[in-house]
Amino acid sequence: MTLISLVRHGQTDWNLAKRIQGSSDIPLNATGRAQAEATGRALAGGSFDAIYASPLSRALDTARIIAGHVGLGEPRVLDAVAERRYGDAEGLTGAEILERWPEDEPVPGRESRDDVVARALPALLELGERHVGEHVIVVSHGGVIGSIARHVTGHARPGPGEIIPNGSVHRFRYRDGALALDRFNLGPEDHDLLTASVL
């Protein structure tokens, strides 16, 4: 078995303004760096064997901060876990998107959740095979984490109204070619952040 902790990057100014980022490379703000530090400190009591990150700077810089706390070196870039591409909607708020493209109208260039799963899941399964018996951290994005969680739980998580906060940790376990959700939406304040996996 392999444990894979998916971590959402820290906050950016676009997160704060509720603007869709997608593939736009928006850096961490001061709050985001503090969130990454808090997550890193919370994970510091655990044992981790490798750390990977999306190539987007908000994820890669979050991973670098966490790596410093957990005793790992420079994160390895994993292109497949970059954020969902939102096409023409990037930089817009939810209200602006609905104004331009009403419900059920496709947004030009927006990647489907199925396409996100099609690229991200094989990469995570490959990590599971590469790190058998280990625990790895992968710093990614809300759109990717949500898509993977929906896929492996049959849309049970995230539940209605459930968000994926910046700096949150979502632990999965890999076994026999499959990924399963172990813990969802853990934050630095959660006492079970480093507790044993439910096997």
**83 has catalytic annotation:** yes
Can you tell me the mean pLDDT for 132-147? 98
What is the per-residue pLDDT for 189? 73
Catalytic residue among 9, 69, 141, 170: 9
Tell me: pLDDT of 197 over 60. no
Domain ranges in the chain are: 2-186
Which residues are CB-contacts of 66 (< 8 A; sequence separation ≥ 6)? Answer: 7, 36, 39, 40, 43, 51, 137, 139
Annotated binding residues for substrate: 8-15, 58, 83-86
User: Which amino acid is located at 118 in the chain?
Assistant: A
Query: Residue 199: pLDDT above 50?
Result: no
The CATH number of 2-186, from 3.20.190.10, 1.25.50.10, 3.40.50.1240, 3.40.190.10, is: 3.40.50.1240
Neighbours of 178 (CB within 10 A): 10
Q: Residues annotated as binding site?
A: 8-15, 58, 83-86
Tell me the pLDDT band of 143, cut-offs 50, 70 and 90: very high
pLDDT at 109 over 90: yes
Indicate if 9 belongs to the active site.
yes
Q: Tell me, what's the pLDDT at 198?
A: 38
Per-residue pLDDT at 103: 82
What is the pLDDT confidence band of residue 192, given thresholds at 50, 70 and 90? low
pLDDT digits (tens, 9 = 90+) for 19-43: 999 999 999 999 999 999 999 999 9
Residue 67 has, within 13 A of its CA and on its CB side, a CA count of 18
Query: Which of 37, 69, 74, 83 is an active site residue?
Result: 83
